[in-house]
Chains A and B, each alone.
Chain A
Amino acid sequence: MKYLQNSSTRSLPPTSAKGRVSVLFLLFLLLNLATLLSLRFGSQPLAFDELLSGTGTAYTIFLYIRWPRTVAALLAGGALATAGVLIQAVLNNSMASPNVIGVNASAAFFALLAVSLFPGKVPLAPAAFLGALITALFIYGLALRAGLSRSSLILAGIAVSSILNAGVDAISLLFPDESIGSTAFLLGGFSGITIKRVGQAVPFLSVGFLLALFLAAELNILQLGEESAISLGLSVKRTRFLATLAAALLAGSAVSFAGLLGFVGLLVPHMARRLIGRDHRWLIPASALLGASFVLLCDVLSRILFAPYELPVGIVMSLLGGPFFLYLLLRGKRRRVND
């Protein structure tokens, strides 16, 4: 054990309730701004006074394109960021995320399988949730039984991801006509989204998010390590299982309408921790707000950068998020990345 590994001057994010409320409030404002931008801008900018008339092209675009798309981006971003926080807490590994360990790929694989084998019969959200849950439990089981180290676990996740991604690619080549087998789905995107498809996922998202909030205090105890958590009276297995379930509900249902959105689940929890600290009672709402804003803003950019053409939002997110994540890593290199 080294003494004084870090300088004692390193500051923590705000720990007072007042400071944390302020951070949450600012994130809430950011989300409002992002939502307004998303409603206003696109390949066809809409003036707000036109919308208020309640008729005309602008109104139709708003109702059938802009509004569903905004809701979808907001929910997917919030859900994937929250799922990221949960998975990192369960695996006690900040390198993990629903994307990295193959949960998203599994959700996509099951969703694709459902539409390809039983077109129009099976709703996507439950299928995607089931896929997400199976892989999340599998990875957790690997960590538990095989006693994999943190980095081996990530490698196992990458292996599982690539198997499932191969499955996704195979299905989308074999059944090219299915709408969700499009490039937009594989890269993550919201073009052509309907409010119905989003609505289908909402019950899953709500249960997942409420469960996440309910588990927040227990996740704080979990980060003290298994032995201390047991000593403090936590049912470690139950907490881990419920958190995995919540993560699968959130990630699975987000993938069912947003496709394979990577990165938000890894990047946003890291950003949120820097802003508000590690208390999950604050970290979970902060990550949800930040994740929603991040995906919304990326989606706005994806629509206006090359208008009237648009990029799948996944591409924009990786282009923006990748360098930013590198910056966070390099700036924080004196701190252990996986603490």
Chain B
Amino acid sequence: MIECKNICAGYRNVTILHDLTFTIPTGGLVSIIGPNGCGKTTLLRTMAKQIPPQSGTVLYDGVDIATISRKDLARTAAFLPQVRPIPSISVQALVSHGRFPHLGFSRTLRPEDRIAVQRAMEQTGITPWANRSLDSLSGGERQRVYLAMALAQETDIIFLDEPTTYLDLHYQFDLLELLQQLQRSGKTIVMVLHDLSSALRYSTQVVLMDQGQLLFSDSPQALRNTDLLAQTFHVQTRFFDDHVLFEPLG
């Protein structure tokens, strides 16, 4: 369970998030949505301890993450940033880096680490590219490789910042379905998602934000019974069985 209690956060002297309190149950697939610049990424980064909150606490299973060491945290939660460098290293080498928080002083892979790397590569379907260079892959392929690195980390929680942005449509669905599988296997997935339809379709919980404030945190079904989406995004919404249609106002 991830609890955010009275989170205020930002960078330097600027406060972007204002007093956010909400809870994410273990095994949830959670999408953080909201207009551009509303603080989604800042929230995700705060929850993943990439930045410290200015006030308030984030707790994993009741433990304040400020008290957890970086290395221990890295065995509990993985964070996939939106913008990543593309070093000219092999796919396998990159995925192996996911084992870093589990390695001992010698920093060499043990048999169980190799198994975890193999498993992560199979789950994401990237085994055939093991020896290819990362910079020879397409954007969608790299996304899967980075996800494999996060899986090799074998954490209970995975944070992803806009994992589907820039991906072709079928890659987006592949990725979301993979995340759904992971969630069903017991992991907690928290992501910033720009695509509202996907957020509503795949998530078990939606966190809606605007201007650094929390507007809503509950199931997508509950969100349909409000007009918050229409208000926040300045659109008209029409809900069908399992999807939503957005139309311009007027």
Given A6-B136, A10-B133, A15-B90; A230-B50 close (CB under 8 Å): yes
Q: How far is the CB of B138 from chain A (nearest CB, A)?
A: 4
Contact across chains for A231 and B85 when beta carbons are under 8 A apart = no
Residue of A nearest to B167 (CB): A1
The reply to whether A232 and B153 contact each other, CB–CB distance below 8 Å, is: yes
Task: Give the CA-CA distance A11 to B133 in the complex, in Å.
Answer: 7
Chain A to chain B contacts (Cβ below 8 Å), 11 pairs: A3-B138, A3-B139, A12-B88, A217-B107, A221-B97, A225-B81, A231-B153, A232-B100, A232-B101, A277-B88, A335-B88
Question: Once the chains are docked, how many angstroms separate the CA of A1 from the CA of B48?
Answer: 26
A52 within 8 A of partner (CB): no
Pick the contact of B81 from A8, A12, A223, A227 — CB < 8 Å? A227
The 7 closest A-B CB pairs, nearest first, are: A233-B74, A231-B79, A227-B81, A1-B139, A233-B101, A217-B107, A233-B71
| Least Cβ–Cβ distance between A47 and chain B, in angstroms | 47
- What separation, in Å, do the CA atoms of A233 and B136 have in the docked complex? 27
**A211 within 8 A of partner (CB):** no
Given contacts A231-B78, A232-B74, A232-B101, whether A278 and B88 have CB atoms under 8 Å apart is: yes
CA distance A217 to B131 in the complex (A): 20
The proximity string for B residues 11-55 relative to A, scoring 1 for CB distances below 8 Å and 0 otherwise, is 000000000000000000000000000000000010011100000
Q: How far is the CA of A15 from the CA of B45 in the complex (A)?
A: 34
Residues of A within 8 A of B153 (CB): 231-232
Cβ-based interface call for A4 (8 A): yes
Q: How far is the CA of A232 from the CA of B75 in the complex (A)?
A: 8
Residue B214 interfacial (CB < 8 Å) = no
Instruction: Pick the contact of A228: B81, B107, B139 (CB < 8 A).
Output: B81
* Chain B residues within an 8 Å CB radius of A231: 48, 50, 74, 77-81, 150, 153
Q: Are A228 and B131 neighbours in the complex by a CB distance under 8 Å?
A: no
**A18 at the A/B interface (Cβ < 8 Å)?**
no
Quick check: is B70 within 8 A (CB to CB) of the other chain? Answer: yes
- Shortest distance between the CB of A212 and any CB in chain B (Å): 14
Do A12 and B133 have beta carbons less than 8 Å apart?
Answer: yes
Whether, in the assembled complex, B182 has its beta carbon less than 8 Å from a beta carbon of chain A, the answer is no
Is residue B86 within 8 Å, beta carbon to beta carbon, of the partner chain?
yes
Q: Which of B84, B90, B135 contacts A224 (CB 8 A)?
A: B84
Chain A nearest CB from B12 CB (Å) reads: 11
Among B72, B75, B89, B146, which residue has its beta carbon within 8 angstroms of that of A279?
B89
Supposing A1-B139, A12-B131, A339-B135 touch, asked if A227 and B79 sit within 8 A by C-beta, the answer is: yes
Nearest CB of chain B from residue A314's CB, rounded to whole Å: 31
Structural contact, A92 and B85, CB atoms closer than 8 A: yes
Q: A279 vs B74: C-alpha distance in the bound complex, in angstroms?
A: 22
Does residue B114 face the partner (Cβ distance < 8 Å to A)? Answer: no
Interface centre among A11, A220, A223 (most CB of B within 10 A): A220
Name the B residues within 8 Å of A278 (CB-CB). 87-89
Instruction: Determine whether A53 belongs to the interface, using a CB cutoff of 8 Å to chain B.
Output: no
Smallest beta-carbon distance A144→chain B, Å: 13
Q: Which residues of A contact B75 (CB under 8 A)?
A: 233
- Is A331 an interface residue when CB atoms closer than 8 A count as contact? no
Q: Which residues of A contact B71 (CB under 8 A)?
A: 233
- Binary B-proximity of A233-245 (CB < 8 A = 1, otherwise 0): 1110000000000
Q: Which residue of A lies closest to B75 (CB)?
A: A233
Q: What residues on A are CB-neighbors of B166 within 8 Å?
A: 1
Which of B77, B133, B150, B166 has the largest number of chain A CB atoms within 10 A? B133
B163 interface residue per 8 A CB criterion: no
CA distance A5 to B71 in the complex (A): 35
Is the C-beta of B73 less than 8 angstroms from some C-beta in chain A? yes
Question: Is A333 an interface position by the 8 A CB rule?
Answer: no
Check B136–A8 contact: CB distance below 8 A: yes
Contact with A along B83-127 (1 / 0, CB 8 A): 111111110111001101101000100000000000000000000
B165 and chain A: residue at smallest CB distance: A1
Check: B238 CB closer than 8 A to any chain A CB: no
B224 lies within 8 A of chain A by Cβ: no
Q: How far is the CA of A234 from the CA of B70 in the complex (A)?
A: 7
Annotate A254-282 by CB proximity to B: 1 below 8 A, 0 otherwise: 00000000000000000000000111000
| B84 interface neighbour in A6, A92, A228, Cβ under 8 Å | A228
A233 x B138 contact (CB < 8 A): no
Answer whether A221 and B70 are a contact pair too, CB < 8 Å, given A5-B135, A10-B136, A231-B78. no
Give the residue of A4, A7, A8, A279 whose beta carbon is less than 8 angstroms from that of B93.
Answer: A279
Contacting residues of chain B (122-148) with chain A, CB-CB under 8 angstroms: 131-133, 135-140, 146
Q: For residue B86, which residues in chain A have a CB less than 8 angstroms away from its CB? A: 339
How far, in whole Å, are A224 and B85 apart by their CA atoms in the complex?
Answer: 6
**Taking the complex as formed, is A2 at the interface, i.e. its CB lies under 8 A from any CB of chain B?**
yes
**Within the assembled complex, what's the spacing in Å between the Cα atoms of A10 and B73?**
37
